[in-house]
Structure 1
Amino acid sequence: MSGALTALVLLPAVCGTGLLVTGRVADRIAGPVAVGVAGAGVVLAALVADARPSVSMPFLGIVDGGDLRLVVDGLSAVLVVLVAAIALLVTVFAVADLPADDARARFFGYLLLFVAAMLATVTAATLPTLLLAWEVMGATSFALIGFRWEEPGKLAAGTRAFVTTRAGDLGLYVAAGAALAATGSLALADLGRATGGWADVAAAGVLVAALGKSAQLPFSAWLSAAMQGPSPVSALLHSATMVAAGGYLLIRLQPLLAGTGWAATAAAWAGALTALVLGAVAVAQTDLKQLLAASTAAQIGFVVLAAGVGATAGGTAQLVAHAAVKAGLFVAAGAWLTALGTKELADLRGAARRYPGIGAAATVAALALAGVPPLSLWATKDEVLAGVDGTALHVVGLAAAAVSAVYAGRILAVVLARPAGDEAVDAEEPGTRRIPVLTTAVAGVLAVFAAGLGLLALPAVAEELKAVLDAQGETSPVLGELLLSGALALGVLGLTVAAVRARPAVVEWLARSLLGSWAGLGRLLSPRPALALARVLATVDDRVLDRAVMGVAASGRRLAGLSAKADDAILDRAVSGVVTATRRTADSSARIDNGLVDGAVRATARMFRRAGDAARRPQTGLLHQYYAQAVVGLGVLLVLLLVVR
């Protein structure tokens, strides 16, 4: 089954690359190819989820965990099926929704690459694999959000989203370095073994990267800009892929967060506050896609909260249920935008009545978003809140759940209302067009999942999910808590619908408030702070750094001049003096050698030569001369003897 896992990631990657390389020539076949690949992905995802295979390829051989490794365990088994299924449904929606003259090969090429990156992310077992998939996902999201780059604002929106998430992604590189320093390994499973300061650094890096990717506070505003992308991109990006990736990563690395203590607490509070604040932002929106974007950050906030409190099963269930709910609502919003030419809530009055099929699906999804029993997010939110230990955090989480019913109620109050003047509803009226059957079918399937996942409220189903995730023993909500949250959701939803219809001035006031502009979070991403910082840095560079550098250069030049003078005046003279003295000494030594030593040697040689000549003369070879010499010698000895005596 390792081949199936490899194909699960490589098939969309290779086919997506092929479509991008082929270009406009493949526009006609791009849609069917993408649907076929996505369909094959669902089959492969089901196979690997059942078999739980692994596959590895060498990459950084000198480091433990440096290979490119994909592993399917309980958590990734759930996620690969989710990602593949949502990708198939969104691809079908895109085929029906995209205009025929769009660059479809480019769109579906990037879409398939994006899906491949997310599938690699949820099966990555090592940091190199995760980083590679994380980078591809960020790059392709930029291309998809700015798909219609020639239209004003589209490319800037993609750039804003890309730069914001990339800033957070740096934390993942910091975490990789800290993991290597702490454990000597780059395997994700080994991160939980990190201790001391390196564990804190790794946890901080992971937390920043995850919060940035999932648009949690304070990074939430990039999600508003991402709404400039085509509707299928919003449906995929906001449901089971990029925005969900940060929440998934925190659930995956929950042991690291728990090991540091503070990181788990920070994650829990970041998630809870995002769920509350971005929920309030969603309430104030007048644009349906902006409302859904803010609610995405809010709903993923419950996933981050679950990771912080250790509610793995609750966080995973929230991730899955939210994907179905939010994909369905974005499909509906995209269909209405194509059909009616607007995404403004004021202009969508009665849209669900005008298009009953997709209106029914959107209604079910909105009710699930509100937390109405027995639908999915009712059960999953309570699974998350059951794991919360602490009154303050629990109250914030419960308040955020109530706010969910408020922004869901805003949607329902508008799309289910009768058109102004109680006019007859007609999908054929001028300025409108029919919604394709495929789009309605996709929304219907997602609505079924949004409703059916409410079975997670049943203890037997919840325990089965915990067994799959190896999370047995986690706290589950009791019947009283489920009933209380359901009653709260129904009550708040009813009051919201009534208030929206009776008090439209309140809604208008909220839209004009700071919440309407995403609580001012967009200012963090505006170019003005960056330009101001750049000006300050330029001033510091010109007035401090440049002057310091020039001062150092001038001092260096002066020092070099002094060194040159010292070299000429002292060192060169000293060297020249030593050379002259040495030469004189050598001349004197040469004269002594020639005059004395050589002369003494030559004189000694002459003396020995003369002595040799004198000693050779008596050697004549004549016997009588030898006798005479002996007589003379004896005479001399006799004389010496007489003298001495």
Structure 2
Amino acid sequence: MSAALITAIILPALVGAALATAGRFAERIAVPVSLFTAAVMAIAATIAAITGAEVTGGVPAMLGAPGPDLRVDALAAVVLPTVVWIGFLVLVFATADRTRPAARFHGLMLLFLAAVVVTVTATGLPLLLAAWEVMGATSYALIGFRWQDRNRVAGGFTAFTVTRAGDLGLYLAAGAVVAGGGSWSLTALQSLPGPWVHVAAAGLLAAGFGKAAQLPFSFWISRAMEGPSAVSALLHSAAMVAMGGYLLLRVEPLLNVTGWAGPTAAWLGVTTAIVLGVIALSQRDVKQVLAASTASQLGFVVLAAGVGSVSGGTAQLVAHAATKALLFLTAGAWLTATGTKQFTGLRGVAARWPAVGVLATVGALSLAGLPPLSLWYAKDVVLAAALEEEPWLYAAGLAGAALAAAYSARIIALLWRRAGTPEASWDDEERGTRRVPRLAVVPMVVLAVAAAGLALLGTPLLHPMLAPLSGTSVSWPELAASGAIAVVVVLLTLWRTPTVRSGMHWFGLERAAVAVIATPTLRLAAALARLDDRYGTAVDRSGRALEQTARAARALDQRGPAAVTGWIGSAVAVLGRLARRPQTGQVHHYYIGATVTVAAAAVLLLVVR
């Protein structure tokens, strides 16, 4: 039903824009209006996913390209409901968490969700670009939502500019389509002629890597943790970061037809899974652990796109979205209650709020890949495809999975083991409320059920049915091996929690980016600005010289030819006036004049003779 898909986009976009711009006048109605809108949006998106909705006659028609603007195919039918329902649950949590001002926050969140829905269902580059831009702009506003704090605004700016650098790849791909005379459809990009198919693949890789926080773009997600907890729970679980991986899954045929883009995505994805896994294991801030683990887990989605396992990557994306949204919400609940994100203040906090502690444990165990939880099977589908492609890819993927088990178990150990007086470290970021609202627990419970319930994907009954869909048959020895590794690593970490410091500062990724890219770019820009100033000065001086020359020429003209011309004109005018005086119209005057003239002529003749 196209009406359902249109509703899932237009309704949140209009309501979100109204709330975001209404200011304090909409504060009282913002929450109920937002929740109602999000619920309707989620229901409409689910209907669209079930019916395979299409919307036609817009951008493609204007560009002379056949096909629909928006379409819910098999891939979108899985991702679309995931995004909108997690968005609804996050808004429920934000209501309990009392994120203020509510009108602006809920308005921006609804606008962001509308842009994500378009991103998921767009069939061509023009509409995808438009939604991508709105998604980036609203993410900047949400991360820097508390704009009075310069650090938070700076964090949003860093996230925005770094992802924007990757977003240029979409414009590069669009340029390749124009130059190659190809179709705007994402499913037809692999048909571009000659070198343009490689240009398009390179551009889309850059855009996907940037949004998914893959190396070397990964550091932006660390700075994005300055945003409110609800923002992190949506943007860095099911929405913005996930859209980078989703884009690469969407254009998987293009990646594999080039011969180099697929392997590049696969190796970069698995490298990110390992490097960011080490970084996650080194952090002392719970949100930083979750940020690094997000990039690490998205590495498996990128790996799936590289090896052609679209279904495996989709399963990984969906399972990770539910799991990570749950963990971000639990971290946000503890931040509100204790006023800190640091592990020194959160040691043993799970025992103080056991309901949240149990839910966080479910999320952490799922993130660890423990069987039979969701990420265990999803990750193994990806690893099985990697094994068929390259054994070393499989080995590297297992290493990334082991690191995931380690940093997840470390979270569990630190949250349940009380050491010292953690209360002394409370309120270091904000004043804690010392309570977790019951309403805030409701979306956590739903997400925990989703994170654990998706474990059905790994049951013996459904495993044979899903193997054809994934394109790869996952053997039981592979499932058992990865499950055993996860269990052993979790037990070892719980027994003796490791202390890793090497990646505490994200291996200097931001400093490296500043030194290698930002600083040279700024210096080049400054040099070009100075050159432009010199050109501007030269043009100004030339203009002033021409003006002075023109003034001199005008003065000379006024004193020379113009003056002579004026004198001649004046003389002619005087003569004309003199000649006009005798012309009185009186006949006797003419007679007198004629007599005088004849007499004068006679006298002249006599004198001359």
- Shorter-chain TM-score category? 0.7 to 0.9
Provide the rounded CA distance (Å) in 2 between the counterparts of 1:445 and 1:108.
21
What secondary structure is seen at the aligned counterpart in 1 of 2:70? strand
Mark the CA change 1:156 to 1:422 in structure 2 (over 3 Å): closer, same or farther: closer
Provide the rounded CA distance (Å) in 1 between the counterparts of 2:521 and 2:179.
33
Q: What is the number of equivalent residue pairs in this alignment? A: 534
Give yes or no for contact 2:169–2:207 (8 Å, CA) kept in 1: yes
Per-residue deviation at 1:420?
3.2
Deviation digits for residues 50-75 of structure 1, max 9, x if unmatched?
A: 11111124346563338881111111
Per-residue deviation at 1:456?
1.1
Are positions 1:51 and 2:51 aligned together?
Answer: yes
Query: Could you tell me which amino acid in structure 2 is paired with residue 79 of structure 1?
Result: V
Per-residue deviation at 1:322?
0.1
The residue aligned with 2:18 is 18
The residue aligned with 1:476 is 473
Provide the rounded CA distance (Å) in 1 between the counterparts of 2:362 and 2:155.
31
What secondary structure is seen at the aligned counterpart in 1 of 2:505? helix
The residue aligned with 1:497 is 494
Query: Could you tell me which amino acid in structure 2 is paired with residue 491 of structure 1?
Result: V
Provide the rounded CA distance (Å) in 2 between the counterparts of 1:341 and 1:31.
24
Deviation digits for residues 325-368 of structure 1, max 9, x if unmatched?
A: 00000000000000011110121011111111111110000001
What secondary structure is seen at the aligned counterpart in 2 of 1:196? coil
The residue aligned with 1:219 is 217
User: Percent same amino acid among aligned pairs?
Assistant: 51
The residue aligned with 1:439 is 440
Deviation digits for residues 5-27 of structure 1, max 9, x if unmatched?
A: 10011111111011012111111
What secondary structure is seen at the aligned counterpart in 1 of 2:56? strand
Query: Could you tell me which amino acid in structure 2 is paired with residue 438 of structure 1?
Result: L
Provide the rounded CA distance (Å) in 1 between the counterparts of 2:333 and 2:422.
23
Are positions 1:518 and 2:517 aligned together?
Answer: no
Are positions 1:534 and 2:534 aligned together?
Answer: no
Q: Give 1:78-477 correspondences, 5 Å limit.
A: 78-99=78-99, 102-388=100-386, 389-420=389-420, 433-458=434-459, 460-462=461-463, 472=469, 474-477=471-474
Query: Could you tell me which amino acid in structure 2 is paired with residue 433 of structure 1?
Result: R
Deviation digits for residues 474-499 of structure 1, max 9, x if unmatched?
A: 11311111111111001111111222
Mark the CA change 1:530 to 1:21 in structure 2 (over 3 Å): closer, same or farther: same
Give yes or no for contact 2:238–2:321 (8 Å, CA) kept in 1: yes
The residue aligned with 1:577 is none
Give yes or no for contact 2:182–2:192 (8 Å, CA) kept in 1: no
The residue aligned with 1:604 is none
Per-residue deviation at 1:546?
5.4
Deviation digits for residues 199-235 of structure 1, max 9, x if unmatched?
A: 0000000000000001000000000000000000000
Give yes or no for contact 1:170–1:209 (8 Å, CA) kept in 2: yes
After TM superposition, the structure 1 stretch with the greater mean CA deviation from structure 2, 28-37 or 125-134, is 28-37
Mark the CA change 1:431 to 1:134 in structure 2 (over 3 Å): closer, same or farther: closer
Query: Could you tell me which amino acid in structure 1 is paired with residue 490 of structure 2?
Result: L
Give yes or no for contact 1:83–1:240 (8 Å, CA) kept in 2: yes
Provide the rounded CA distance (Å) in 2 between the counterparts of 1:362 and 1:67.
44
Give yes or no for contact 2:344–2:422 (8 Å, CA) kept in 1: no
After TM superposition, the structure 1 stretch with the greater mean CA deviation from structure 2, 286-295 or 536-545, is 536-545
Provide the rounded CA distance (Å) in 1 between the counterparts of 2:229 and 2:512.
26
Q: Give 1:535-614 correspondences, 5 Å limit.
A: 535-536=523-524, 538-539=526-527
Per-residue deviation at 1:132?
0.7
What secondary structure is seen at the aligned counterpart in 1 of 2:35? helix
Mark the CA change 1:25 to 1:282 in structure 2 (over 3 Å): closer, same or farther: same
The residue aligned with 1:488 is 485
Query: Could you tell me which amino acid in structure 2 is paired with residue 34 of structure 1?
Result: S
Give yes or no for contact 2:59–2:69 (8 Å, CA) kept in 1: no
Give yes or no for contact 1:57–1:68 (8 Å, CA) kept in 2: yes
Mark the CA change 1:340 to 1:180 in structure 2 (over 3 Å): closer, same or farther: same
Provide the rounded CA distance (Å) in 1 between the counterparts of 2:422 and 2:230.
32
Per-residue deviation at 1:256?
0.4
Query: Could you tell me which amino acid in structure 2 is paired with residue 19 of structure 1?
Result: L
Structure 1: 5+ residue stretches without partners:
424-429, 501-505, 558-645
Query: Could you tell me which amino acid in structure 2 is paired with residue 412 of structure 1?
Result: I
Mark the CA change 1:316 to 1:536 in structure 2 (over 3 Å): closer, same or farther: closer
Provide the rounded CA distance (Å) in 1 between the counterparts of 2:518 and 2:274.
28
Give yes or no for contact 2:381–2:470 (8 Å, CA) kept in 1: no
Give yes or no for contact 2:60–2:124 (8 Å, CA) kept in 1: no
Give yes or no for contact 2:345–2:422 (8 Å, CA) kept in 1: no
The residue aligned with 1:605 is none
Provide the rounded CA distance (Å) in 2 between the counterparts of 1:292 and 1:230.
14
Provide the rounded CA distance (Å) in 2 between the counterparts of 1:375 and 1:69.
37
Mark the CA change 1:496 to 1:544 in structure 2 (over 3 Å): closer, same or farther: same
What secondary structure is seen at the aligned counterpart in 1 of 2:69? strand
Give yes or no for contact 1:66–1:126 (8 Å, CA) kept in 2: no
Per-residue deviation at 1:549?
11
Per-residue deviation at 1:194?
2.0
Provide the rounded CA distance (Å) in 2 between the counterparts of 1:402 and 1:156.
34
Query: Could you tell me which amino acid in structure 2 is paired with residue 517 of structure 1?
Result: H
Deviation digits for residues 535-570 of structure 1, max 9, x if unmatched?
A: 35544775899599979x99xx9xxxxxxxxxxxxx
Per-residue deviation at 1:394?
1.0
Provide the rounded CA distance (Å) in 2 between the counterparts of 1:262 and 1:527.
29
Mark the CA change 1:242 to 1:536 in structure 2 (over 3 Å): closer, same or farther: closer
Give yes or no for contact 2:309–2:470 (8 Å, CA) kept in 1: no
Per-residue deviation at 1:533?
4.0
Give yes or no for contact 1:351–1:359 (8 Å, CA) kept in 2: yes
Deviation digits for residues 441-494 of structure 1, max 9, x if unmatched?
A: 21111111111111111355356557xxxx647113111111111110011111
With normalisation by structure 2, the TM-score equals 0.83
Mark the CA change 1:60 to 1:41 in structure 2 (over 3 Å): closer, same or farther: closer
Give yes or no for contact 1:66–1:185 (8 Å, CA) kept in 2: no
Mark the CA change 1:462 to 1:174 in structure 2 (over 3 Å): closer, same or farther: farther
Give yes or no for contact 1:59–1:66 (8 Å, CA) kept in 2: no
What secondary structure is seen at the aligned counterpart in 1 of 2:318? helix
Provide the rounded CA distance (Å) in 2 between the counterparts of 1:541 and 1:132.
31
What secondary structure is seen at the aligned counterpart in 1 of 2:55? strand
The residue aligned with 2:5 is 5
What secondary structure is seen at the aligned counterpart in 1 of 2:482? helix
Mark the CA change 1:386 to 1:24 in structure 2 (over 3 Å): closer, same or farther: same
RMSD, matched Cα: 2.6
After TM superposition, the structure 1 stretch with the greater mean CA deviation from structure 2, 481-490 or 182-191, is 182-191
With normalisation by structure 1, the TM-score equals 0.79
Mark the CA change 1:451 to 1:115 in structure 2 (over 3 Å): closer, same or farther: same
Give yes or no for contact 1:247–1:300 (8 Å, CA) kept in 2: yes
